[in-house]
Amino acid sequence: MEHDTREGPRYVRARIGNACDSCKSRKVKCDGATPCTFCVSRRMAHSCSYSPQKRRNVNPQGRRPPPSERIATQTTPSSDATPADANRTPTTVIRRDEEPQRHQEQSNEEETEVPREARLLRDAQGKLVFIGDCAPLSFYQSVRQLVITRVDPSAFANQTSQLSVLENAGKTTSQGGNGMPPYVYTPLVLRSVEQYLNATASLIDLFDRDTLVDEVAQWAAGSQRRGPVSTVKYLVLAIGAQETDSSLSQVFFEYAREQTLSSLSGDPGLSTVQASILITLYMLRSSQMNGAFVLFGLGVRIAYSIGVHRTEVNARFGLEMGSQRDKLWKSLRIVDLYLSTLMGRPPATSDVDCTVAYRKFDDAGNEVFDMLNASAQVMLIMEAVVVEVYSRRKISLAVTEGISARLRQWSHRWLPHVKALLDPATQDTATVIGACQVLASYYYAVMLASRPFLVYELCLRLSPERASDQTNRSPAATGRSKLADACIDAANLMVDVTADLINNNFLTYRMPLLVSWLFASSLVVGLGVLGGFGRLEKRANQSVEALEHFATNDVHAMQYSQISRSLLSTAVQYLDRKEANERLERTASSNHIFGLMPKDGHRATPSGMRVRNRSADRTSRSQQASGPDTSLSAFQDLPIPTSNGADTPSRDFFETWSQMPDFSMFDGLMDGTQDWTEQDWSTLNLFPLLDDGGQIDLS
């Protein structure tokens, strides 16, 4: 059967560069005309429009990178932005396949796994609550798991393993007046407002601090105590009275909270956002973290609804009110980022559509130091650490370089100013406390960025092959070991600052931010003791004592101190056992030379410790294979002592002294005119005065 070889007309499908939006949404063919044929036939020519075509990013292998190789792109304010761009500079981290060639050639040793530490924990009421990767409580769980599996199964006490620290059951006080405003004692106002200013320094700035005392005093002296303004005033007094009169503070707080929640159904405004922030701080200071996290989200939504995140909107209310609204947004961001980092959860606020600047400039264009701005900038760096490190499976030195650059820039600009404010002789209490909290947040950001490297180094040091043989470690410091040391250094600096201010009676008892970061520092220092990173026992004890100082009125600090003390005790006991084991190994070696061990042949080995580990066995076998040890050549001509079935010689060592080889001192030893080799040192006579029979002429 013959086929017809004649070809009919061939239609060539024309491909256009872009289709109109209507054809894209309907997934139909578009001819690219303006308007296109499809829209004209549907009588939609007036709505035919073309959007710019999005370019697809495809890697050379034609596949999408796995999750471990993707880095999130976060739009956050840059620390190097200028006033012209309103400090909104997107910080973008490139993909691994787009990094420079030197980063592609990095060895796998410079990448470190970031453990997934997120977990569900039970609070004091038994409810399951999610805690994320970067939270200090998740870090504690990882530390606990590492210690009980590699060091001591009974390392932590039972009460420290139960995380009732997650939430403290708040006390409830019945309102006897059926919602009537509580009475305010006028003499209480001055001290309560001062305590409020101390507690909120560098965290929030909602009012004029110079006139707040007078405003609250005038309000307390009046008779009108209802409305949103009164709610905020009650919350200020409630926070301030937490240190002096907890019962009255609870009364003020519960009334203000009921008034705030009842106003949500109406027309919430600026006072409602202020009240939401104050409620959150009060609950944090009352050890109710999860409840504070939930209620804070309501205030954030109200803040978005009134536009405090846009500086151009705030400017329409005048210079003074516009500045107050800008500070309100900054306060929201600081509290939100602290809460999200503390709980390991995504933040409620974002800078994607925000134009409020976190920097202040004078007329000459120079940046002016401001405590609130410095605190906000540190929190933004901490947010970048969480996004770029703890949202990935691995962290490399390339990613750490970008984070460390931002931390160095902040340190170069503000660290001298912040440290200067820590002087108790020249600064007031609120300023010192605010500077301490900013500095603690900076140190904690450093620890967050370097913590995975510390855990990696610790796992290496606690491995069975290297647990008792640290001599095999390379003396050259790697990038990971330097970052591990940086983590410990940041923790030590935080402990030093906190302990110094506690000794000067400058820190109040309820400071949830400082307690949280101090707890993480105590864990880091405890790991430093456990891993043999230096003599850190003193610093570890200082961190425990600082937590015990805050434990007077903070149940979280109480359990944190118990956990830290248990970790320190376990680390010290581990080092004692390890040192005893190493000493026993050296004694066993000396036994073959001087006969120091008992003649019964039994060696007193500490319980649970091995005389030799596998690394030592491999070392001894390699020495036997390579030949005799030249360092013992001075003893090769000694007569072999008779053995009575034991490891020790049967004759006294000094009986063979006359048969020792005769060595003399080498010329040029003291003046350095002669170079000595290792063999020369091995044959050096250590007892030259005995060459003449031990006769020493003291004259």
Q: What is the pLDDT of residue 407?
A: 95
40-77 confidence digits (pLDDT tens): 887 777 778 887 765 544 444 444 444 333 333 333 33
pLDDT at 125 over 90: no
- Give the span between the Cα atoms of 301 and 264, in whole angstroms: 11
CA 24 to chain centre: 47
pLDDT above 70 covers what percent of the chain? 66
In a domain, 74, yes or no: no
- Give the span between the Cα atoms of 241 and 254, in whole angstroms: 13
- Residue after which a domain boundary falls, among 557, 584, 611: 584
pLDDT at 90 over 60: no
- Residue 411 and residue 560 share a domain: yes
- Residue 389 and residue 345 share a domain: no
The residues near 670 (Cβ < 8 Å, ≥ 6 apart) are none
In a domain, 518, yes or no: yes
pLDDT at 686 over 60: no
CA 400 to chain centre: 13
Give the closest residue to 430 by CA, choosing from 264, 613, 203, 167. Answer: 203
487-501 confidence digits (pLDDT tens): 999 999 999 999 999
The residue-averaged pLDDT of 285-294 equals: 90
The residue-averaged pLDDT of 173-192 equals: 75
pLDDT at 414 over 50: yes
pLDDT at 303 over 50: yes
Do the Cβ atoms of 378 and 417 come closer than 8 Å? no
Q: Tell me which of 677 and 322 has the higher pLDDT.
A: 322
In a domain, 271, yes or no: yes
Quote the domain boundaries for residue 44.
17-48
Label residue 661 by pLDDT band (50, 70, 90): very low
- Residue 217 and residue 293 share a domain: yes
In a domain, 348, yes or no: yes
Q: Is 592 exposed, middle or buried (0-12, 13-18, 19+ CB in 10 A)?
A: middle
In a domain, 27, yes or no: yes
The residue-averaged pLDDT of 110-119 equals: 57
Mean pLDDT (the chain, rounded): 75
pLDDT at 692 over 60: no
252-283 confidence digits (pLDDT tens): 999 999 999 988 877 788 999 999 999 999 99
Q: Tell me which of 20 and 237 has the higher pLDDT.
A: 237
The residue-averaged pLDDT of 619-632 equals: 41
In a domain, 330, yes or no: yes
Dihedral of alpha carbons 642, 646, 652, 654, sign = positive
- Residue 324 and residue 200 share a domain: yes
Least confident of 122-136, 149-163, 342-356: 149-163
- Residue 341 and residue 381 share a domain: no
pTM for the predicted model, two decimal places: 0.70
Query: How many domains does one find in the chain?
Result: 3
pLDDT above 90 covers what percent of the chain? 38
Across 160-174, 292-306, 612-626, which has the greatest mean pLDDT? 292-306
Give the closest residue to 684 by CA, choosing from 637, 640, 630. Answer: 630
Label residue 610 by pLDDT band (50, 70, 90): very low
CA 30 to chain centre: 54
Label residue 359 by pLDDT band (50, 70, 90): very high
Q: At 288, is the secondary structure helix, strand, or coil?
A: strand
Q: What is the pLDDT of residue 164?
A: 53
- Residue 266 and residue 397 share a domain: no
Label residue 83 by pLDDT band (50, 70, 90): very low
In a domain, 256, yes or no: yes
Q: Tell me which of 107 and 165 has the higher pLDDT.
A: 165
The residue-averaged pLDDT of 587-592 equals: 70
pLDDT at 323 over 90: yes
* Cα angle for residues 428, 430, 436 (degrees, 5° grid): 105
- Give the span between the Cα atoms of 233 and 220, in whole angstroms: 9
Q: What is the pLDDT of residue 149?
A: 87
- Residue 393 and residue 529 share a domain: yes
Q: What is the pLDDT of residue 224?
A: 65
Q: Which residues of 206-219 are buried (b: 16+ CB within 10 A; e: fewer)?
A: bbeeeebbebbbeb
- Residue 495 and residue 415 share a domain: yes
- Residue 389 and residue 312 share a domain: no
Query: Which residue reads 């980022």 in tokens?
Result: 337
Residue 521 token pair: 């520092």
- Residue 403 and residue 537 share a domain: yes
Do the Cβ atoms of 456 and 480 come closer than 8 Å? yes
Label residue 439 by pLDDT band (50, 70, 90): very high
Q: Tell me which of 333 and 659 has the higher pLDDT.
A: 333
- Give the span between the Cα atoms of 315 and 321, in whole angstroms: 8
CATH label of the domain that carries residue 39:
4.10.240.10
The residue-averaged pLDDT of 641-653 equals: 41
269, amino acid identity: G
Least confident of 206-220, 426-440, 585-599, 676-690: 676-690
Q: Which ranges in 241-370 belong to alpha helices (H)?
A: 246-262, 270-285, 289-306, 311-314, 319-343
Label residue 583 by pLDDT band (50, 70, 90): confident
Q: What is the pLDDT of residue 595?
A: 62
CA 349 to chain centre: 21
Q: What is the pLDDT of residue 112?
A: 59
- Residue 497 and residue 405 share a domain: yes
Do the Cβ atoms of 596 and 587 come closer than 8 Å? yes
Helices (H) and strands (E) in the chain, counts: 22, 6
- Residue 406 and residue 285 share a domain: no
- Residue after which a domain boundary falls, among 584, 619, 647: 584
Least confident of 37-46, 443-452, 553-562, 617-626: 617-626
- Residue after which a domain boundary falls, among 356, 381, 403: 356
In a domain, 66, yes or no: no
Q: At 360, is the secondary structure helix, strand, or coil?
A: strand
The residues near 360 (Cβ < 8 Å, ≥ 6 apart) are 367, 368, 370, 373
pLDDT at 640 over 70: no
Label residue 36 by pLDDT band (50, 70, 90): confident
pLDDT at 331 over 80: yes
Do the Cβ atoms of 410 and 378 come closer than 8 Å? yes
Q: What is the pLDDT of residue 89?
A: 35
The residue-averaged pLDDT of 329-335 equals: 97
Please give the helix or strand (H or E) that residue 367 lies within, else none: strand 367-368
